[in-house]
Every structure is written in structure tokens, then in C-alpha cells.
Amino acid sequence: MLVKDVMTTKMKTVRPDSALRDVATVLGFYHISGLPVVTEDGTLVGVISEKDVLRALYPKIDDAIQLSASVQFGDLDSEFRDVMDARVSEFMTAHVFTVGPEDPILRAVAVMIAHKIRRIPVAVDHKLVGILSIGDVHKAVLKETFDHKLGQGSKKPQLKPRV
């Protein structure tokens, strides 16, 4: 199975000069955990994740974890409003691991596992052509497994809701 067989091609993207407010809105509205950052011509220049946005909003949170008694959490809330107009380029991850559409799916999974990432951009000559998530891989593997077993006469598994 190849990456192109599983990847998503209809994806949301963001530009490096977009406001962090816009990213937070897209992430929340579409229930996604990260976005590829592309230039106007589609060149992949980074990714920005929910974690990146949270770190931008609460840059002192690492201090808060270690010194919670000395951090004024009310001050953190007011500072968060100031950062919402900051640009994506200030907080995105610029060093991005990618795979190509012709790569085997297992290579993509190996890269994702090795670097502890849940989604990986699919690019050709630095141009974004898709994105592959752990969920996409999981669905494809399950589908292939069930299709294979059903082809051998197995019954489709019936799941009963828990009460």
C-alpha cells in the first residue's frame, strides 16, 4: 500500500503570515490537531499544531508546571489575548518531516513513530500534495484486513454498543 492510496488531499492549510487567531479558529472549528503551513504557490514551509498554539498562548506554562505557586495564572490569561495577532511564522515548526505519495505506507508510519508525530505532510518537490495521519493509516489497515477476511468468507464483525 502506498501513501497516495491513503493520504488526504482535501486539507486545510495556513500561510506563514496568518494570525494565530485564525489558526486557533480553524483547528477548533474543524476539530483538527495541526495544519501545514504553505506559501502562496503551495510550497510547504512548516506545520503548526495545537501544541504550538498553546505554547504561544501560554509561553510561561513550563514555569507554571514547576513553580505553580509563583505564577499568576490570571496574568497568563491577559497575555494570551496579546499573542492572538502574532504570525504563524513565529510559532510554527519549520523543520518538517515529509513523505512522498509513492512511498510505502510503512515508511510513512516508521517516520511518524520515530519522530512522535501524528500527521505527516505529503510533498513532491517541496509542494504540498496531501497529508497523512495516524488515523488515515489505521482506517486503511483495518479496511484492508476486513476486506481480505471477508473475501475468505468470514463474517463482518458485529459490534454491540456498551450500556
135-144 as b/e: b if 16+ CB within 10 A = ebbeebeeee
The domain segmentation of the chain, as residue ranges, is: 3-151
Is CATH 3.30.70.250 the right assignment for the domain spanning 3-151? no
| Three cell numbers, residue 89 | 511564522
Q: Nearest-CA neighbor of 30 among 47, 15, 48, 11? A: 11
Helix 105-114 vs helix 134-151: crossing angle, to nearest 10: 140
DSSP secondary structure, 61-102, as one string = HHHHHH-TTT--HHHHHHHHHHHTTSBGGGTSB-S---B-TT
- How high is the pLDDT of residue 86? 86
The pLDDT, as a whole number, for residue 56 is: 78
**Span 81-102, average pLDDT:** 89
**67-82 residue pLDDT tens:** 555 556 566 556 556 6
Confidence category of residue 132, pLDDT binned at 50, 70, 90 = very high
* Whole-number average pLDDT of the chain: 83
